[in-house]
Homo-oligomer: A and B are copies of this chain.
Amino acid sequence: MKKIVPAISGLVAGFVAASVFFADFTTIGSKTTAGDVKAKSNAEKVYVPFGKKDDYYLFASGGHSGQMFIYGVPSMRKIRTIPVFSPDAATGYGWDKESKAMLGGYTWGDLHHPAFSETKGEYDGKYMFATDVANNRAAVMDLKTFAVKDILKVPNTSGPHCAAFVTENTEHMFLPTRFAVPFGHKYASLDDYSKTYKGVMSVVSFNEGNKKLKLDYQVALPPWSFDLSDAGKKTSSDWAVLTTYNTEEATTNMEINASQKDRDYIVLFNWKELDKMVKDGKYDTVSGVKVIDPAKQKGAIYLIPVAKSPHGVDVTPDGKRFIASGKLAPTMTVFSFEKAFDAVKNKKFQGEQDGIPVLDYKSVMEREVNPENALGPLHTQFDDKGFAYTTMFISSEIVKWNVNTGETVDRVPVQYSPGHSVSTEGDSASPDGKWIIALNKLAKDSYLSVGPSHPESMQLIDISDKMEVIQSAPVDPEPHYAQMIKADKLNPIVVYPKDEKRPDSVWSQEKAHIERKGNEVHVYGIAMRSKFVFDAKAKRRDAVTVKQGDKVVFHITNIDLDQDITHGFAINSYNQNMEIQPGETKTMEFVADKAGSYPLYCTNFCSALHQEMSGYLLVEPK
């Protein structure tokens, strides 16, 4: 592979200006031209003919779309957008009463790092978690239905970017913030930044019984930016690590001022110790939240110096090491948990920062890895043979290297500027070592142009042998992290169970009825191929008449219990629509403030007579 690398100026400005212009990709594409004889062509490797299914699910962060994107691998076909933090007209998420309440009035989110629930460090296929950098929320999706069950609004916090990564048995996920703000999001001058602004780590747990997320407590950290984290595994399972930048505590012109020091920190903490502190009452209560101050409560949190402005920190599958990638230094640093525990035990501190002990770098560091000409290391994934794969944002490649020796084993150019990557079950305790996908930030002219705003790009790389990009897929904004899980670990339901005790549900046409309570009109109706029935006794069973100003509440049950027979329920001109999946009951409520005759109709094509599945909302003038 021919590769042109410019002289490195060492200036930040140089790094940035140089991004994506380095590698010479003249050989790309030629591998697939005619005449190249292979046992199985790349085309065949990614082709999934009708009647067969993909081997892996890819759950990709949808970034500032606020949603999650589900892809099949190896075909790289997008199967579905699952709404999480933003309303979704396609499914009516944010319109029906329950999802509207969950969204809490927010109309977008910035979904960063998705995380599967884990059992013994393995993806157990039960739940998926994610966090919202925009409006400071966490969410949980049930993988039986692919529906979000709860959204937790987290106070005292701003931009929980450094999440979600769950502990080995899903005891916790940690949400440290990218942005420091005063407690309670109060106003304070930036002149008082170091004193009044805080970086806050929220510690959240999930109750599988009631399917709710809970904020257990928070930790008040210095006003640094916390970037990414990972939980320990096996011998390190009580611990977690996270990266920091802006330990300079700069308040302006961050591209320069937050990159002054040669070293920032890894935060290493023992979450079992933190849990214990809370149990023992060793916390303050701030804005109603239990908050641990690590300067006061010692013994759980430590700092480790690391090459400046690290981005990812990733724990090896065996739980023995963690690897920090130095975004602004061409270095992956391998740290040893065992050495760190030893340093903690023997107090090998090189000082304190904000009251937090700083471990001696050399006592904890095992190896600095600098693959030749590789620039901008961001994230590391793993395979089943002890190799690490690190994305290089600036030199636009993935480098495969030996964790035990630091030796570079292989490398492959990607197009362009990869942020995260994801390998098959690649951050679990037992990666599969089959595929890695580069989540590229820039597509340039890789795909048919759709104007000045380009798609992002994901590239599938076969890592079973010599690394090779075998498929490229454009993607909507904007995958940050993703996780891949073996398809057979998921077993979603096909139809919601017919639960006759479900509140507000109605299971036969004859039972459909309307109740008027003051100025509230409750409609207990059904949807079935190919009609709505709202009132079994009415002259027109598919029409609802209300008075202008009434609050109208539609409770609709889809009584078609057949696979894939989803109905929609929309009201023309009233800006209302919701999806009702087979066997589901959904509630829509609004005030009928406009008099007039408004057609209502099914939005999900359901039968040959789908178009006839309609009726009227008649709003009599006041």
How far apart are the CA atoms of A124 and B422 in the complex, in Å?
41
- Closest residue of chain B to A477 (Cβ to Cβ) is B90
A603 touches B63 (CB 8 A): yes
A136 CB contact (under 8 Å) in B19, B452, B566, B573: B573
- Asked if A494 lies at the interface with its beta carbon under 8 angstroms from chain B, I say yes
A597 CB contact (under 8 Å) in B25, B72, B185, B566: B185
Given A227-B611, A444-B564, A32 and B19 contact (CB-CB distance below 8 Å): no
A window 50-95: CB within 8 A of B: 50-54, 57, 62-66, 70, 72, 76-82, 86-91, 95
Given A50-B472, A90-B65, A187-B621, A253 and B601 contact (CB-CB distance below 8 Å): no
Given A608-B327, A611-B245, A90 and B70 contact (CB-CB distance below 8 Å): no
A contact face: mostly helix, strand, loop, or mixed? loop
A485-529 interface code vs B (CB 8 A; 1 in, 0 out): 001001011111000000000000000000000000000000001
- Closest residue of chain B to A606 (Cβ to Cβ) is B441
How far apart are the CA atoms of A398 and B325 in the complex, in Å?
54
How far, in Å, is A180 (CB) from chain B's closest CB? Answer: 8
How far apart are the CA atoms of A63 and B579 in the complex, in Å?
13
B530 touches A255 (CB 8 A): yes
B609 touches A570 (CB 8 A): no
A89 CB contact (under 8 Å) in B64, B158, B245, B594: B64
- Asked if A455 lies at the interface with its beta carbon under 8 angstroms from chain B, I say yes
A445 surroundings in chain B (CB, below 8 A): 563
Query: How many copies of this chain does the complex contain?
Result: 2
- Closest residue of chain B to A558 (Cβ to Cβ) is B452
- Asked if A46 lies at the interface with its beta carbon under 8 angstroms from chain B, I say yes
A91-112 interface code vs B (CB 8 A; 1 in, 0 out): 1000100000000011111100
A376 surroundings in chain B (CB, below 8 A): 608
How far, in Å, is A605 (CB) from chain B's closest CB? Answer: 4
B572 touches A158 (CB 8 A): yes
How far apart are the CA atoms of A190 and B542 in the complex, in Å?
12
A297 surroundings in chain B (CB, below 8 A): none
Given A65-B90, A531-B254, A599-B179, A146 and B605 contact (CB-CB distance below 8 Å): no
- Asked if A404 lies at the interface with its beta carbon under 8 angstroms from chain B, I say no
A50 touches B415 (CB 8 A): yes
Given A50-B415, A89-B66, A187-B620, A450 and B254 contact (CB-CB distance below 8 Å): no
B453 touches A581 (CB 8 A): yes
A448 touches B53 (CB 8 A): yes
A88 surroundings in chain B (CB, below 8 A): 65
| Stretch in A36-44, A115-123, A211-219, A428-436 with 4+ CB within 8 Å of B | A36-44
How far, in Å, is A128 (CB) from chain B's closest CB? Answer: 12
A469 touches B50 (CB 8 A): yes
A446 surroundings in chain B (CB, below 8 A): 50
A455 CB contact (under 8 Å) in B79, B227, B581, B601: B79
How far apart are the CA atoms of A224 and B190 in the complex, in Å?
65
- Asked if A252 lies at the interface with its beta carbon under 8 angstroms from chain B, I say yes
B568 touches A64 (CB 8 A): yes
- Closest residue of chain B to A64 (Cβ to Cβ) is B603
- Asked if A269 lies at the interface with its beta carbon under 8 angstroms from chain B, I say no
A78 surroundings in chain B (CB, below 8 A): 78, 474, 476
B77 touches A50 (CB 8 A): no
A91 touches B599 (CB 8 A): no
A159 touches B601 (CB 8 A): yes
B564 touches A443 (CB 8 A): yes
How far apart are the CA atoms of A295 and B135 in the complex, in Å?
57
- Asked if A285 lies at the interface with its beta carbon under 8 angstroms from chain B, I say no
- Asked if A4 lies at the interface with its beta carbon under 8 angstroms from chain B, I say no
B603 touches A110 (CB 8 A): yes
B448 touches A57 (CB 8 A): yes
How far apart are the CA atoms of A29 and B49 in the complex, in Å?
6
How far apart are the CA atoms of A476 and B91 in the complex, in Å?
10
A190 surroundings in chain B (CB, below 8 A): 540, 543, 597, 616, 618
Given A42-B47, A47-B32, A564-B442, A455 and B80 contact (CB-CB distance below 8 Å): yes
Rank and list the top 5 A-B pairs by shortest CB-CB distance, nearest first: A29-B51, A89-B108, A43-B47, A179-B599, A146-B451
16 more contacts with CB within 8 A, not counting A82-B450, A146-B451, are A12-B609, A28-B51, A43-B46, A50-B459, A79-B448, A90-B476, A106-B575, A179-B614, A185-B594, A186-B595, A251-B543, A417-B605, A441-B606, A443-B564, A452-B496, A478-B603
